[in-house]
Structure 1
Amino acid sequence: MLSIATLFPFILALLAGGAAAGILAGMFGIGGGAILVPIFFHVFGLLGVPEDIRMQLALGTSLAIIVPTSIRSFMAHRQRGAVDTDLLKGWIVAVPLGTLIATLIAAKATSVELQLIFAVIALVLAFRMIFNRATWKLGDDLPGNPIKFLVGTGIGILSGLMGIGGGILNNTFMTLYGRSIHQGVATSSGVGVLISLPGLVGYVWGGWGRPGLPPFSTGYINWLAVALLIPVTLYLAPVGARLAHVMSKRQLEIGFGIFLVVISAQFFLSIIL
């Protein structure tokens, strides 16, 4: 039985991660998963969760927290009129479909494989954001179907395998087709809603009955962590949204990229060591 004294430093780490995730959710439209997943991975490890299910539990719990956080962030951005609602309507099927496919893959993949997926995608996107040039464009407007549908499905798959709200990928997609980073951030909060809801269901199903799960878990969702972090992320998401609208495009890109490099490096180190 774990005592309160033993759990206290882990609770503090979760709350600090939740605060950062809430601000990042509003600032970058990422749902906060990019910071929650590595925090969960290490905290669950310190609490004795087996290696073979630790990453899956981190991914599923992250997506569960993103549900209310992304909704709150989406509402804050929509009030500012920056959300591309037409794009979101076109992805109502594609993004959830991709997310459900991701949960099926995650249920079969090893923890190390999921860590590598997270780290590689984060690193590629980080370099794109840091070294971004205005000439890096694929078009002046978003493509139509079936390309748009396939991109939405791909964003759902990759986001579901990273436990994120899709903002990292959607921001890249939209800016490559001439949209501003601010509109990308705002629209990504809506993409997070389309990813997190089916992701929650999929990770509950994928981990149902698995041995080694910590107390208060349903499948690959740990509800204790969810209950601790949701109030913090909900409270701070609007703060991040306000920061996003006072920062320049380049400041957002560089800050976003540096953050991803740090997270990616941390996962590569955990695999090597």
Structure 2
Amino acid sequence: MIDLVLHYLPWAIAMIVAGLLAGFVAGLLGVGGGIVIVPVLDTILATLDVDPSLRMKVAVASSLATIVATSWASARSHKAHDAVDFDLLKSWGPMIFIGVVLGTYLAGIVDARVLKLVFATVALLIAANMFLRSKSQKLADGFPNMIVKGALGFVVGTVSAMMGVGGGTLGVAILTAFGWDIRRAVGTASAIGFIIAVPGTIGFMIAGWGVPDLPPGSIGYVNLIAVAAIIPLSILTAPYGARVAHTIPRQYLAYGFGFFLVITAIKMLWGFFA
């Protein structure tokens, strides 16, 4: 019994840290916490000798499950600051949903190393974009037409599902490029995270159903132990992140977002090449 407790103690400690940090970052940057949770879970699963072909899929799936709660808490906090664009959510939501369905399907059938590469590549691209546009430079005032708007929503849904992240990782970069204020982009992206996380979680449960050698406490690729540890702590800290987001100058918030993405991308690339 003692040996079992000692074996899972690093997991429990890591989940506590991940939960506290993920909630704060979710509120601060509108990233749903997944950009933190996925690399942490991938690392912890490696220490527990989980099959490498399963680790990233479990990390992505479990991250999406936690984002169901954290994005809801973050969106409510941003709504209190009138920073959620509900008109955009209504028009963008359907294409994001379709993208999530495709992304979840692809994540279930590709090699886990592909998910690492997708995660790292997209994170670096968005970080570069945020640094270049940190002073709110924009491509246009709003989307030029419905085709571009729909296509970008589809990309947000597909890639976010494969990365295990909420709406902020792609959504903030796209919205700021098309003229949205960084704070309103962050607030809206937190709500987009909920649209991504719900179908994504269900899809990963189905995709991983019956797969052997999954960690204990898993339904499909979603690990309920990780989810149960992370959700309450991340909900606790998400409102604090949202409050800080509305006190930091826009340029610093953009730089912080970009720097955070670079760090996580390096971590994933290290794992990919190792």
Whether the TM-score (by the shorter chain) exceeds 0.5 is yes
Pick closer, same or farther for the CA change 1:53–1:124 going to 2, 3 Å: same
User: Which residue of 1 is the match for residue 253 of structure 2?
Assistant: 252
Asked if 1:13 corresponds to 2:22, the answer is no
User: Which residue of 2 is the match for residue 157 of structure 1?
Assistant: 158
User: Which residue of 1 is the match for residue 226 of structure 2?
Assistant: 225
SS in 1 for 2:158: helix
Q: How much does 1:143 deviate?
A: 3.4
Structure 1 residue ranges, 4+ long, deviating more than 6 angstroms after superposition:
none
1:48-197 alignment runs, 5 A limit: 48-132=49-133, 134=135, 136-197=137-198
The aligned length equals 273
Q: Percent identity?
A: 37
CA contact (8 A) 2:100 2:196 kept: yes
Structure 1: distance between partners of 2:92 and 2:124: 26
Asked if 1:32 corresponds to 2:58, the answer is no
- The one-letter code matched in structure 2 to 1:228 is A
Q: How much does 1:40 deviate?
A: 0.5
SS in 1 for 2:248: coil
Q: How much does 1:136 deviate?
A: 4.2
Q: How much does 1:142 deviate?
A: 2.9
- The one-letter code matched in structure 2 to 1:32 is G
User: Which residue of 1 is the match for residue 266 of structure 2?
Assistant: 265
Pick closer, same or farther for the CA change 1:223–1:133 going to 2, 3 Å: closer
Structure 2: distance between partners of 1:133 and 1:23: 21
TM-score calculated relative to the size of structure 1: 0.97
SS in 1 for 2:144: coil
Root-mean-square deviation (Å): 1.3
Give unpaired runs (5+ residues) of structure 1.
none
> Deviations for 1:10-44, whole angstroms, at most 9, x for unmatched residues?
21111101111000000011100001000000111
Q: How much does 1:262 deviate?
A: 0.6
CA contact (8 A) 2:217 2:225 kept: yes
TM-score calculated relative to the size of structure 2: 0.96
Give unpaired runs (5+ residues) of structure 2.
none
- The one-letter code matched in structure 2 to 1:108 is I
